[in-house]
Every structure is written in structure tokens, then in C-alpha cells.
Structure 1
Amino acid sequence: MKTIRVNSLASFPTPSLIAVNGIELEVFEAGQQNKGNPIVLCHGWPEHAFSWRHQIPALVAAGYHVIVPNQRGFGNSSCPAAVTEYDITHLTSDLVGLLDYFGYKDAVFVGHDWGANIVWALSLLHPSHVKGVIALALPYQLRGDKPWIELMEEFFGKDNYFVHFNRQPGVADAVLNKHTTQFLRNLFRKNEPIQPPVSGMLMINIAKNEQPLGEPIMSPNELSVFINAFEKTGFTSSINWYRNLDRNWHILAEVDPIILKPALMIYGDRDSIPKLESLKDFVPNVEIVSLDCGHWIQQEKPTETNQAIINWLELNNEPS
């Protein structure tokens, strides 16, 4: 496959504000519409549609209509005030609304990190709209007997950032808002040296650390896209995704947990998120790929990520 990468901010698509599901989403798109090959790329936290800058041109060259939203709470998309506006019912319905807007009955959905979680949930809640799933970093999350935050607090303690976001609302938000540039500069790194555990909440520690570890995964100009976006919105609206984890657990109570759609799971071997050994029990039609990188897979290894995605699409996706 020919390597195609975005080398400047100017080559990123110009966004449109699209009304869906009672809000507006800032949506970047490229490729020809109504050719029967839509693919929707869903970012994670704390990210931006710009996280997919390396994938967009490669997917367009492969014949896809590429749709990349800043999801609710991010970028110039709507940031509702109520915490409950960020549960999986709302987030998955936003994606269904995008398909309706563009006139598609279904699409392949790609998600990284939190975006992967939403794409897995979309396959459970709206399976008729999903042709296939590509997940990066975050495997399917099993719904156990206890709500997720309660379970995490039991195993990882109150300083786990998922727990902290829920039990101490507003505290981390204020720290990240105060140290936006430093936090994002420190977070988007690769090849970080192994460090002994540090007490306190991880994301607050990262925000307050004046000496970043590892190597940056993007140029200062690229990083400025993320910084400018979060300086405008603050972090509360995006952190509200975490504050719905237990609500999401309840929403999924009566849902069949088996995903039968064809799927691709891309792991980063250096990622701190563990692989799910039982993934094929819940997603039987999944192909698994591992890359030698950390958490920011499509930005750390863009060529390899593109190759894995396009190879899988060639075998698993027929145009509508």
C-alpha cells in the first residue's frame, strides 16, 4: 500500500456544523458521498477529529467517504451542560443521526480509546446501522455484576482517574483547565521510560509535571489543534463521558452482549490498557492485530495502522 500522510494543517478537511439528535456536531469529511462506502472515525479522550489526520487520505484513496466528527463535548460540537447528556444512548444516537444526515443506512465505524467504547456500544444498541467495527486500543468491555466505577474503585482505589472523575467532580477539570498546554504536551508522548508508581491521580500528575517523559507524537503545530480546542471548551464536557459509566452499565442491562458484526481489534503492545483474552467469546468474528507502539496507535504508527485497516476492509467490507 502506498504511504499517504497529511503533512500540514492546511490539508485537513474544512468542517461543517451538522444538526443531529438535538445538537450540532462539527464534522470533517473527505471522499465522494453516496458511493456506498461510508466509514466513520470516532476519536477518544482527550482527543479531536484531527487525531485521524493520517488515516483520512489513505481511506479516501481506497474509495471511502470518510466522516470524522468531533463528538459531543469536543471541539466546536455542542457541549450540553447536563452530565446525563453524555451517556451511550446520546453518543450512539449522534452517530446514527450522522448516517441519516448523509443518507446512509449503515457504515463501518472506527473508534480509538473512548471512541472504541462508543463503537462497541453502537453495535449493541443499533446493530442494523453497523457494517463492521474497527477498534483501536480499547477492547470490548465486559459488563459484569457490579457497575464499572464501583468495580474500579474496589480494585484500583479512589485515585484511579475513572473513579476520581466520578467521585470528585470538578476537581480534575479545574487542574486540567489550568494546565491545558502542559497536560496535552505531556500526555501525547511515546516511548516513555518505565516509572515507579506515583501516588495521586494520574491525569492530575501528568498535568502538573513540568518535565515530559518520552518523545512527542506530533509537531507543535499539530498539538496546537488539540490545545486550542480544549482551551475553548475546557475539559468538563469531555470528562462527562466518564461520569456516565455506571449509567451506561444500567442501560446495557437487557442488551445481548454478543457482537456478531465483523470486527478488527488493533492493540498497541506498549499500551497500559490490557488485552482482553476472551475477546473472541464476545466478538466471534474479530481479527486481532498488535502493533509495536503505545496508546496513541493511529498517530504513533500511522502507516502500519492504515495498512491493517485497509487490508481488513478489503476482506470484510462490500460496498452497499
Structure 2
Amino acid sequence: MSITTDFPKPTMVAVNGVELEVFEAGQENVGNPIVLCHGWPEHAFSWRYQIPVLAEAGYHVIVPNQRGYGNSSCPSEVSSYDIEHLSGDLIGLLDHYGYEDAIFVGHDWGAMVVWGLTLLHPDRVNKAINLSLPYQERGEKPWIEFMEEIFGEDFYFVHFNRQPGVADAILDKNTSRFLRNIFRKNVPPVPPQPGMMMINLAETETPLGEAIMSDGDLDVFISAYKASGFTGSINWYRNLDRNWHLLAGVNPVIQQPALMIYGNRDTAVAKSETLSTFVPNVDVINLDCGHWIQQEKPEEVNRVILKWLTKKVVI
């Protein structure tokens, strides 16, 4: 039987004023929750290789499509996607299942949410495991303003904010091509192209590198985005400066045990030089892969996570 057909069936869970499409496994392990948080442009299906392994290891695995994704609610207000709302959704999930806290795992934007959740609601996070995106220190300038100065107006984070709706329409028009072109590995290094990277990916006929998934698995992502469109998920980017302001008064140091997993070939995210300053109880693992870590190296990711969780069990 294929991974696709083995994937859990979803249920809709009302939390925090929205409905989330939630996939569960290991319900027999109630009392030992682990919540997996996808990135962009992803889907709960990004965790298809981790879900059965974690359930088999004794965890109650909870995997939401976060707001703006899949069949979950897509509010129209941009501010509905700030870190207070996104972390509030995860708190709502814990409350729904009756959990005081949980282990949270995030990849890419999901990692950003897990870091933010841990800052805003430290008593609800038992341990944090993040892939690709390390803790982002707040700095003296709002993030988009800083990125615009360093990378320019065509950098996709900046473009999403300064030209709202432009990229959304192009990605909606070229959903299959964009997703086919972005989910790649072993992409040869090429000089930066003029224009906005995500728009270029959506309009490029021939992708570089190798596909990270089968056509059948890719169809799960394509179908989801054809139904939802991209605006809800891109609105996460449009709250970075708002998040910077929201986190102004928060203690920036995370004390929970944390695991950071990098892909050594990840060109999307730089490794942090200050990670242990802000996350003093962090362990760092480097894997030989690109950005889509848990899909590129599923067995290694599963092994690393389970070994680390076993080591971090308090007797």
C-alpha cells in the first residue's frame, strides 16, 4: 500500500475562532502528544514519513494543516496570520485534546511558529524540535525592513509584503508547475536570477535538480493548493513585521530542551551563529540534504528525532 493511501483521514477541529484540518495517528498513545507543524508551501502531508514511525514509538501524533492551508480556515484579514493567531491555534489544539503541554516539531515556517509558540506560551511546550529554520533573533529593525535593506525589493519576503497579490495570482495560475519546481533536491548552484525567485519558479518550464517525491505524492500538494489558493499561506510572510512588534516584550531566551536539524545543502536558510545564546539547551544535527529535510532524508530524520527524544526523557 502506498504512503498516500496510508495517510490518516482528517477531522475538522474548531480552535481559536477557526477550523483546522487535523490528521492523527497513535490515538492509543493518548497522554504522549507530539505536534508536527509544516512549512511553506507545504501541507500536513509533508510529515507522511514521520507519522507512522512516531505513532509506533508510542506518541499520539497530531498533524494540523495550519490556517491558510489545505481545508483549514483561510481568514481574509492579513493580521489573522500573525504569531499570536498561529500559536493560539496550537494552544487551541492542546486544549481540544486536553493536554497541558506537548512536544512540538516544526519545519521551515512551522519552525518559526514553534519558536514563537515557545516564547509566547513556554508552559505549553515540553520540548521543541525544529528543522531548517533556526531561532531568529529579533534584532533592532523589523524583519522585512531589515531584509529589504540587505536583499532588495525583489527578495520574495519583501515582494510578498510590498506588492500584495502579485505573486499570489501568478502562483495560483501556475500551481502545478510551481510546486513541481520548488520541491527539488540536488539543485546545481546557479547565479542569482533577476526578478523574484518564487515567480521565476512558477514560470520556469524546466526545473533544476531532482524531484523529492513521486507524482502521486506531489498531486496531494497540487490538489490542496488548487482548492485553497496561495494567499492564506503567503499572508504568514505579511506578518513578519507585526510579529517583530508582538514579540517586543517577550523574554527572548528559550529554556526548553531543543533539537535543531539543518540540511547542509539548504540554500534557503543560513545556519545561526547565535543559536545557543537564545536556546541554551539546544542540540544541533546536520544532515546531508537540502531544504526539504524530512522528505529528503526521512529515515535519518526519524532516527535522529527518536534517539534525541529517548535521550531527553526525564526519569
Give the TM bin, normalised by the shorter chain. Answer: over 0.9
Task: Provide the C-alpha distance between the structure 1 equivalents of 2:5 and 2:218, rounded to a whole number of angstroms.
Answer: 14
**Structure 1 segment 197-212 matched on structure 2, within 5 A:** 197-212=192-207
Amino acid corresponding to residue 306 of structure 1 in structure 2: N
* Deviation (angstroms), 1:61: 1.0
Q: Is residue 271 of structure 2 the alignment partner of residue 280 of structure 1?
A: no
Q: Is residue 157 of structure 2 the alignment partner of residue 162 of structure 1?
A: yes
**Distance change (3 Å), C-alpha of 1:34 and 1:219:** closer
Query: SS at 1:226's partner residue?
Result: helix
Of 133, 139, 161 in structure 1, the residue corresponding to residue 134 of structure 2 is 139
The C-alpha deviation readout for 1:147-167, integer Å capped at 9, x for no partner, is 000000000000000000000
- Residue in structure 2 matched with residue 102 of structure 1 by the alignment: 97
Q: Is residue 235 of structure 2 the alignment partner of residue 227 of structure 1?
A: no
Whether the aligned pair in 2 keeps the contact of 1:34 and 1:103 (CA below 8 Å) is no
Unaligned runs of at least 5 residues, structure 1: 1-5
Task: Provide the C-alpha distance between the structure 1 equivalents of 2:148 and 2:275, rounded to a whole number of angstroms.
Answer: 24
**Structure 1 segment 1-320 matched on structure 2, within 5 A:** 7-33=2-28, 35-272=30-267, 273-318=269-314
Task: Provide the C-alpha distance between the structure 2 equivalents of 1:286 and 1:113, rounded to a whole number of angstroms.
Answer: 17
Unaligned runs of at least 5 residues, structure 2: none
Amino acid corresponding to residue 279 of structure 1 in structure 2: L
The C-alpha deviation readout for 1:69-116, integer Å capped at 9, x for no partner, is 000000000000000000000000000000000111000000000000
* Deviation (angstroms), 1:32: 2.5
**Distance change (3 Å), C-alpha of 1:40 and 1:318:** farther
Query: SS at 2:12's partner residue?
Result: strand
* Deviation (angstroms), 1:318: 4.8
Task: Provide the C-alpha distance between the structure 2 equivalents of 1:170 and 1:247, rounded to a whole number of angstroms.
Answer: 19
* Deviation (angstroms), 1:248: 0.2
* Deviation (angstroms), 1:8: 2.7
Whether the aligned pair in 2 keeps the contact of 1:131 and 1:317 (CA below 8 Å) is no
Task: Provide the C-alpha distance between the structure 1 equivalents of 2:150 and 2:159, rounded to a whole number of angstroms.
Answer: 13
* Deviation (angstroms), 1:33: 5.0
Query: SS at 2:89's partner residue?
Result: helix
Amino acid corresponding to residue 88 of structure 2 in structure 1: S
Query: SS at 1:19's partner residue?
Result: strand
Task: Provide the C-alpha distance between the structure 1 equivalents of 2:314 and 2:62, rounded to a whole number of angstroms.
Answer: 18
Query: SS at 1:276's partner residue?
Result: coil
**Distance change (3 Å), C-alpha of 1:66 and 1:284:** same
Structure-1-length-normalised TM-score: 0.97
Amino acid corresponding to residue 189 of structure 1 in structure 2: R
Identity, % of aligned positions: 67
Task: Provide the C-alpha distance between the structure 2 equivalents of 1:34 and 1:22, rounded to a whole number of angstroms.
Answer: 28
Query: SS at 1:193's partner residue?
Result: coil
* Deviation (angstroms), 1:315: 1.3
Whether the aligned pair in 2 keeps the contact of 1:72 and 1:79 (CA below 8 Å) is yes
Structure-2-length-normalised TM-score: 0.98
The C-alpha deviation readout for 1:182-203, integer Å capped at 9, x for no partner, is 0000000000111111000000
Task: Provide the C-alpha distance between the structure 2 equivalents of 1:55 and 1:233, rounded to a whole number of angstroms.
Answer: 25
* Deviation (angstroms), 1:316: 1.4
* Deviation (angstroms), 1:250: 0.1
Matched positions, count = 314
The C-alpha deviation readout for 1:215-248, integer Å capped at 9, x for no partner, is 0000000000000000011100000000000000
